[in-house]
Structure 1
Amino acid sequence: MSLILILIGVIAFIVFTTTKLKLHPFLALIMSAFIAAFAYGLPSVTIAKTIAGGFGGILGYIGLVIVLGTIIGVILEKSGAAITMADSVINMLGNRFPILTMTIIGYIVSVPVFCDSGFVILNSLKESLAKRMETSSVAMSVALATGLYATHTFVPPTPGPIAAAGNLGLESNLGLVIGVGVFVAAVAALAGTLWASRFKDVEPDGEAHDDETAHISWTELKAAYGVLPTARQAFAPIFVPIFLICLGSIAKFPSAPIGTGNVYDVLVFLGQPLTALLIGLFLAMGLLKSENKIEEFSERISQGILAAAPILLITGAGGAFGAVLKATPLGEYLGTTLSALGVGIFMPFIVAAALKSAQGSSTVALVTTSALVAPMLTQLGLDSEMGRVLTVMAIGAGAMTVSHANDSFFWVVSQFSRMSVGLAYRAQTMATLVQGITAITLVYILSLILL
C-alpha cells in the first residue's frame, strides 16, 4: 500500500507544481524522478545514473524524430501548405457537408501542424465557410477543433504520440502506431463532428478576438502567402514519410510478405522513422519561396528547433521519471493489483485523463502516463506489440479528456470563435469529453478482438 501512496504523492506533486506554482513540466518531472527514487529506497549512488540514462535513452532515437517532424511542420505552416490542404479537401467534398468538411480539414492539417497553430491558420476559412454555407460558426469551430485534436493526440509524427510510443518500446514500429492511430483518431473526430452538429443553430456570444487574423478573410489570408504550393507539394512532406514508415512495418511482419532480400533491406531502411522524416524534410525544401533558399531553410530549421526544445525536454524528463519507476518494485505490485481488479486497458486512460484535466497539457499527459505504465505492461496483459500500441491509444484518449480553462487550446478555440467561457465549456470541453470516451470505448473493443 505504501508503494501506491508514494506514487499518488509524486503525481500530486507534478500536478501541484505545474498548475499552482506554474513550474515548467520539465523541471517538475525531473524533481519527481529524484523524489520517487529516494522515496522508493533506490541506492543513492545509482539514482543520478538511472535518471540520466532514462533521459538519454528515450531521446537517443525519438529525439531526432521529434525535431525533424517539428521542422517539417514549421515549413508547412509558413509556406501556406496548410492552406492548400484545406482547399484540397473543400474541392473534393464540396459544400454539402460543411461541419464534416471542417472536421476533415482539421484532421489532416494537425498531423504536421500543432493544433493551436492549425486553428489560428484556419480560423478565417472556418468563418468564411460558416457565412457562405449559412452554418453556425460555433458548430464549425467545434468541428475544426475536434478534428485537429484527434490526430494531435493519436497519430505520429505528432510529438506526443511519438514520445508515448518511444516510452513503450515502439520506436521501431511506428507504422503500426500510425495505422491504428489513424483509425482511432477518425472515430474520435467523427464523434466530435456529431457533437458539433448540436450547435448548428447556436451563435457566438462572446467578444471578438483582437488578433488581426480574426478579421482577415480567407481570400486575403491566401493572398498574404503569395503563390501557394500545389496539393502534391503540400501533402508530400508528411504523407510520403508516413507511407514509408507503414511500408517498413509491413516488411517486418512475421509472415515476411516482402521476403528477406534486398527489397526487404531497402524498405526497412527507408521505413525507419528517422530516415522517412529526413526524406520528408528534403521534400519540404521544395516549399521554400525566397530567392536565398539556403538562408530561409536555415531559418525554418532554427524555428523548428526552438519549437521542439520544450517537447524534447519534457519527453526526456518523462523518460527519466519512467526509468526510476522501472527500477522499483512498483510496476510489478501495481500491475498485479490492477490485473486483479480487471482494470486492464482502462488504467492508462484513467491516469492520462486525470493528468490532462489537472494540468492541461496533452503532451505532458502522454509522456508522463506512458512512462508510468511502461513497467506494468506485463501484469496488465498488454506486453505484446499490439498491446503496447493499444496502450498508446488509451493514453491518447485520456490525453484529450478534457480540454478546459487550464489548456491553451481551449482559449485559442474560445477566443477566436467569439465564445464565452460558458458556451466554450458546453461546446468545446464537452466535445473533448465525448471524443475521449468514444476513443477509449473503441480501444477497449479493439483489445477484446486483437489481444
Structure 2
Amino acid sequence: MDLQLLAALVLGIATIIVIVLRTRLDAFVALLIASLVTGFVAGAPATDILDSITAGFGSTLGSIGIVIGLGVGLGKILEVSGAANALARAFVRAFGKGREPWAMGTTGAVVSIPVFCDSGYVIMNPLARSIARVKRAGYVTLALALGCGMTLTHHLVPPTPGPLGVAGILDAELGALVLAGLTFAIALLPVVVGYARWIGPKLESEVSDEVREAVYGPGAARTATVTAGSAPGSAGAPADLAKTDEEPADDLAPEHDPAAALGTPPPGEKPHRMSPGLAVLPLLVPLLLIVANTVATAIDQDRQGAVGSDDYEPSALPKALAFIGSPVVALLIGIVLAVYVLLPRWTTRSQVGGWLSEAAASAGLIILITGAGGALGQVLRDTGVGDELAEAISSWNLPGVLVPFLIATLVRVAQGSGTVAMITAASVTAPLVDGLGISALLAALACCAGSMVFSYFNDSYFWVVTRFTGLDGIAAIRGWSGITTAVWLGSLPLLLIASTFL
C-alpha cells in the first residue's frame, strides 16, 4: 500500500481520537478536521478537499437527516406521554414472576429504539427499583439487564440515530437493516440476561448505601447484604418487604415520572392513563411500514426476475408501499400518531412544540456528526485512500466483515461514544465495501456491532447506568463494562454466520 495514503488514514483517525479525548472540541469538529488532515496528507489540492467535504456532508444528510430528526421527535413524545413506561409495565406482567430480568431486558430493547438510552434509562430505572423492592433482592441484575437491553437496539436498530447514520453513509437498505438489527438484538438478549443473572448477585453487596436504601427502603443500608437468593422474611432484608407476590409498585418520584410534563388535567378532564396497546402504535406502525416496503420490493423483484437489475419497474402495491414505507413518510405517520393518540386532549400546541424543539436540540449534534462522517468518507474515496486500503486488506487472510467491526471497536475503546465509533467505521468502510467482498448491509451491521464493546469511563452512558445502579470502581467495570463486552463478543459469531448469506 502507498505509505502516504496509509499515513493519511492513520493520522485522520488519530486526529478524531485526540481531539475528542484531549480538547474541548466535539466529534463534529473532530471529523471535519480529520477530513482536512486526511486530504492534505494524501496530497489532494485544498479546493478538492473542500469540495469533497461539502459533497459528502450534503449527500449523507440528504438521505438521512430528516429521518434522524423525526425519529428523535417520536422518541420524545413516547417519553413525555408515559408510553415508554406503559410498555415496560406490560412486559413485566407478560413475562411473569421470576422472569423479571427478561422483562427488563426486553423493555430496554423496545424503549431504546426511538428513545436515547441515557434518558430512557432514567425513565425506566424506577420500575427496576420497584420490582427489586417488592422482591427484596436482585436490583443489580435488573438494572444491568435494563441498561444493556437498551444498548442492543441503541446500537443495532434504526431509527436510533447511530444506525440511521451508518445506513446513510454506507447506502444500506434501511428496512433490511431494521430486520437484521432486530434479529441480532433478539439473538443477543439471552447474553444480556445470562450475564446480568451471573454477575448481579456477586455485585449486590457492592451497591452504595445511598442507592441500597433508596431501592430497598429505610434501614436497608444498615442490614446484612441483600442478595438475589434471600428468602421472604430471612435475615438481611427489610422486614416490611416480606411480600413477594405483589405487582411492582407505582412509586415513581415526581421528578422521574415520565408523564409529569403533561401537567394536571383541567376540571372535567379525566387523569391521563396510557394503555400498552396505544403506547406501541406510533413505534410499531412506522417499523412495519418500512419493513413491508423492503419485503414487498424484494418479492416483486424476485417475481419479475429483476433482482439487482437497473431496469426493475415496481408493480402497483410495491410502488405504493415504496411511498408510505419510505423512512420519511413512515416516521411522519408515527409522529402524527404519537401526538394525537398518546397525548391527552388538554395538551397545548405550545407544549408539543416545546417538546419537539427539545428533541430537535438533542438531534442536532447527531445530525451534524453523521454529516461530518459522510464528509470524511467522501474524502477517503476521492483521495484514493479507500481504494488503496481495500487492495491492501484483500491480500490479508481476514474475513471482510471483521474490518468495519474492528475499526468500530478500536474507535469506541479510544473515545467512548458508540455513535461516533460506528459513524467513523462506516466512513472508513464506505469506500472499501466492494473490495472487501461484503454487502452494504453486512458492513453496516459490523459497524454497529463493533461499537458496543467495553463501555467504560469515557462513555457518558457508563456513568448513567453505574450511578443509578450504585456501583463504582472495579464493581462498575465488572458489571457494566463486562456486560457490554459480552454482547460485543456474542455479536461476532452472528456476523460470521450472517456473512455467509448477506
TM-score, structure 1 as length reference: 0.93
- Which deviates more from structure 2 when the two are superposed, residues 364-373 or residues 89-98? 89-98
| Superposition deviation, residue 304 in structure 1 | 1.2
Measure, in 2, the Cα distance between the counterparts of 1:143 and 1:366.
23
Letter in 1 for 2:475: L
Alignment partner, residue 461 of structure 2: 409
Measure, in 2, the Cα distance between the counterparts of 1:89 and 1:277.
24
| Superposition deviation, residue 282 in structure 1 | 0.6
> Are the counterparts in 1 of residues 31 and 372 from structure 2 also a CA contact under 8 Å?
yes
| Superposition deviation, residue 35 in structure 1 | 1.1
Alignment partner, residue 141 of structure 1: 143
Letter in 2 for 1:132: V
- Which deviates more from structure 2 when the two are superposed, residues 112-121 or residues 126-135? 126-135
Measure, in 1, the Cα distance between the counterparts of 2:28 and 2:84.
30
Letter in 2 for 1:283: L
Q: How does 1:141-180 map to 2 (within 5 A)?
A: 141-170=143-172, 173-180=173-180
Alignment partner, residue 219 of structure 1: 250
User: Is the counterpart of residue 189 in structure 1 residue 183 in structure 2?
Assistant: no
User: Is the counterpart of residue 269 in structure 1 residue 323 in structure 2?
Assistant: yes
User: Is the counterpart of residue 327 in structure 1 residue 382 in structure 2?
Assistant: yes
> Are the counterparts in 2 of residues 414 and 421 from structure 1 also a CA contact under 8 Å?
no
> Are the counterparts in 2 of residues 207 and 419 from structure 1 also a CA contact under 8 Å?
no
Q: How does 1:297-316 map to 2 (within 5 A)?
A: 297-316=352-371
Q: How does 1:356-375 map to 2 (within 5 A)?
A: 356-375=412-431
Q: How does 1:434-445 map to 2 (within 5 A)?
A: 434-445=486-497
* 3-state DSSP of counterpart to 2:129: helix
User: Is the counterpart of residue 393 in structure 1 residue 445 in structure 2?
Assistant: yes
- Which deviates more from structure 2 when the two are superposed, residues 128-137 or residues 16-25? 128-137
Provide, for residues 256-286 of structure 1, a one-character-per-residue CA deviation record: whole Å limited to 9, x for no partner.
Answer: 4798433222111111000100000110012
| Superposition deviation, residue 293 in structure 1 | 3.1
| Superposition deviation, residue 73 in structure 1 | 0.3
- Identify the match of residue 131 of structure 1 among 110, 130, 133: 133
> Are the counterparts in 2 of residues 251 and 257 from structure 1 also a CA contact under 8 Å?
no
> Are the counterparts in 2 of residues 208 and 417 from structure 1 also a CA contact under 8 Å?
no
The verdict on how the C-alpha distance between 1:292 and 1:140 changes in structure 2, with shifts beyond 3 A counting, is closer
Measure, in 2, the Cα distance between the counterparts of 1:207 and 1:4.
52
Provide, for residues 174-233 of structure 1, a one-character-per-residue CA deviation record: whole Å limited to 9, x for no partner.
Answer: 1100000001112222212111111242314335369x9999995132884362322122
Measure, in 1, the Cα distance between the counterparts of 2:217 and 2:21.
33
Measure, in 1, the Cα distance between the counterparts of 2:24 and 2:466.
22
Measure, in 1, the Cα distance between the counterparts of 2:294 and 2:449.
24
Runs of 5+ consecutive residues of structure 2 not aligned to the other structure: 219-247, 260-270, 305-313
Q: How does 1:251-262 map to 2 (within 5 A)?
A: 251-253=296-298, 255-256=300-301, 260-262=314-316
- Identify the match of residue 238 of structure 1 among 283, 308, 313: 283
Alignment partner, residue 334 of structure 2: 280
- Which deviates more from structure 2 when the two are superposed, residues 95-104 or residues 288-297? 288-297
User: Is the counterpart of residue 50 in structure 1 residue 52 in structure 2?
Assistant: yes
Size of the aligned set, in residue pairs, is 443
> Are the counterparts in 1 of residues 19 and 25 from structure 2 also a CA contact under 8 Å?
yes
> Are the counterparts in 1 of residues 78 and 279 from structure 2 also a CA contact under 8 Å?
yes
Measure, in 1, the Cα distance between the counterparts of 2:155 and 2:333.
24
* 3-state DSSP of counterpart to 2:454: coil
Measure, in 1, the Cα distance between the counterparts of 2:127 and 2:496.
36
- Which deviates more from structure 2 when the two are superposed, residues 185-194 or residues 357-366? 185-194
Measure, in 2, the Cα distance between the counterparts of 1:180 and 1:229.
30
* 3-state DSSP of counterpart to 1:220: coil
Measure, in 2, the Cα distance between the counterparts of 1:107 and 1:26.
27
Q: How does 1:76-87 map to 2 (within 5 A)?
A: 76-87=78-89
> Are the counterparts in 2 of residues 175 and 249 from structure 1 also a CA contact under 8 Å?
yes
Structure 1 or 2, whichever has the larger Rg, is 2
Measure, in 2, the Cα distance between the counterparts of 1:207 and 1:310.
37
User: Is the counterpart of residue 40 in structure 1 residue 95 in structure 2?
Assistant: no
Measure, in 1, the Cα distance between the counterparts of 2:209 and 2:375.
44
- Identify the match of residue 379 of structure 1 among 432, 435, 453: 435
RMSD between superposed Cα atoms in Å: 2.2
> Are the counterparts in 1 of residues 108 and 148 from structure 2 also a CA contact under 8 Å?
yes
> Are the counterparts in 1 of residues 278 and 342 from structure 2 also a CA contact under 8 Å?
yes
> Are the counterparts in 1 of residues 452 and 487 from structure 2 also a CA contact under 8 Å?
yes
* 3-state DSSP of counterpart to 1:201: helix
Measure, in 2, the Cα distance between the counterparts of 1:209 and 1:139.
14
Alignment partner, residue 472 of structure 2: 420
Alignment partner, residue 248 of structure 1: 293
| Superposition deviation, residue 239 in structure 1 | 0.9
> Are the counterparts in 1 of residues 11 and 37 from structure 2 also a CA contact under 8 Å?
no
Measure, in 1, the Cα distance between the counterparts of 2:280 and 2:497.
32
| Superposition deviation, residue 365 in structure 1 | 0.7
How many percent identity over aligned positions?
Answer: 34
The verdict on how the C-alpha distance between 1:301 and 1:441 changes in structure 2, with shifts beyond 3 A counting, is same
| Superposition deviation, residue 342 in structure 1 | 2.8
Measure, in 2, the Cα distance between the counterparts of 1:136 and 1:15.
38
Measure, in 1, the Cα distance between the counterparts of 2:460 and 2:162.
16
TM-score, structure 2 as length reference: 0.84
| Superposition deviation, residue 424 in structure 1 | 1.0
| Superposition deviation, residue 292 in structure 1 | 4.6
> Are the counterparts in 2 of residues 79 and 228 from structure 1 also a CA contact under 8 Å?
no
Alignment partner, residue 19 of structure 2: 17
Runs of 5+ consecutive residues of structure 1 not aligned to the other structure: none
| Superposition deviation, residue 290 in structure 1 | 6.0
> Are the counterparts in 1 of residues 132 and 215 from structure 2 also a CA contact under 8 Å?
no
